[in-house]
């Protein structure tokens, strides 16, 4: 199993070009919007992102056995604090990094609620890297460049109300960090 220090070095190295853990996006996103995509839910139903048009959405690839899994509780804090103002938090469980999501799709939400109090949306287990990555993740990497793709669990994309990616945050950035709070509040308006 990889050590947290090695993972942090990998993640930090991957974001060297960015030189920050929060990146505001100004790339041309003329090749569509996040609202064109849909994720699969654990019960097999679809979760089309266009149902969240007009609302900011935080999409985070998660893993229950990751050293950063305490961020699941931080995502719940964001959900509790901002869902009434329109924020949608979506966890996308993935086993792509270090095989750290051993649970079945149908078990993950129950585990996260029991251990961390998580009650936000959680998709079925999904690939987020490589040629078989979910189309949302391939689109994000094509739109923003390779520095913005997930290099580990808990990579975060903030989608604006119009479906554009307005910021991304690397793995070590805690969900309740001032950078994420500021970016979310800017999308919520007054």
Give the neighbor-by-neighbor strand order of the sheet with 121-122: 22-24, 165-169, 156-159, 57-62, 88-93, 121-122
Is residue 184 within 8 Å of 87, Cβ to Cβ? yes
Question: Would you put residue 33 in left (φ > 0), alpha (ψ -120 to 50) or beta?
Answer: beta
For the chain, the distance separating the N- and C-terminal CA atoms, rounded to the nearest angstrom, is: 45
Separation between Cα atoms, residue 100 and residue 43, nearest integer Å: 21
- Residue found by looking up tokens 């991957």 in the block: 14
The pLDDT tens digits along the chain (190 residues) read 455 554 444 444 444 333 334 444 444 444 689 999 999 999 999 999 999 999 999 999 999 999 999 999 999 999 999 999 999 999 999 999 999 999 999 999 999 999 999 999 999 999 999 999 999 999 999 999 989 999 999 999 999 999 999 999 999 999 999 999 999 999 997 5
E strands in 140-181: 156-159, 165-169
User: In sequence order, what are the beta bridge partners of 165?
Assistant: 159
Domains of the chain in sequence order = 4-188 (3.40.30.10)
> Which pTM does this prediction carry?
0.86
**Cα 3 from chain centre:** 22
Catalytic residues: 66
């Amino acid at each position: 199993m990889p050590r947290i220090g090695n993972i942090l070095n990998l993640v930090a190295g991957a974001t060297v070009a960015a030189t920050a853990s929060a990146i505001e996006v100004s790339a041309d996103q003329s090749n569509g919007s996040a609202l064109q995509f849909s994720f699969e839910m654990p019960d097999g139903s679809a979760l089309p992102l266009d149902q969240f048009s007009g609302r900011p959405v935080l999409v985070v690839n998660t893993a229950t056995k990751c050293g950063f899994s305490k961020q699941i509780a931080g995502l719940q804090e964001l959900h509790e604090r901002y869902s009434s103002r329109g924020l949608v938090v979506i966890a996308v469980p993935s086993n792509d990094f270090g095989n750290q999501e051993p649970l079945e799709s149908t078990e993950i939400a129950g585990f996260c609620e029991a251990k961390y109090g998580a009650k936000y949306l959680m998709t079925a287990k999904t690939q987020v890297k490589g040629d078989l990555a979910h189309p949302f993740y391939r689109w994000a990497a094509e739109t923003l460049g390779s520095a913005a793709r997930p290099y580990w669990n808990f990579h975060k994309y903030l989608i604006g109300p119009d479906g554009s990616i307005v910021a991304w945050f690397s793995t070590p950035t805690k969900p309740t960090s001032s950078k994420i709070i500021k970016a979310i509040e800017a999308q919520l308006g007054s």
